[in-house]
Structure 1
């Protein structure tokens, strides 16, 4: 193998490594963003479930005496 061929191969490998490093950083950023969004959505779903449970309990509770309409 000649020195020129070896240098060309090393250069090609260095280019591939640099590209792979950038791809890994991009993927890491995407995954991190997705986890943040998932956490936010989990909190929203939990809050909505709590609200639905409260509404179900309120609907099951016996109705108290309602005040008469304002025209009485």
Structure 2
């Protein structure tokens, strides 16, 4: 494994360990969204935004960890 793969795996682990805190806020926002756009729409919005933020966090952490290892 090269350094980029190691940085990638480390950032995935860090993201998964810290992902419970934003998911609590997302679930609390789900109740408000459900009243305005329905249950399916609220679930789609929360999932799309959640995965987008997870991916952006993963990318940032990957480059930070890579430059630390490098």
TM interval, shorter chain, is 0.3 to 0.5
Of structures 1 and 2, the larger Rg is shown by 1
TM-score using structure 1 length = 0.44
Which structure is richer in relative contact order (CA contacts within 8 A, separation 6 or more)?
2
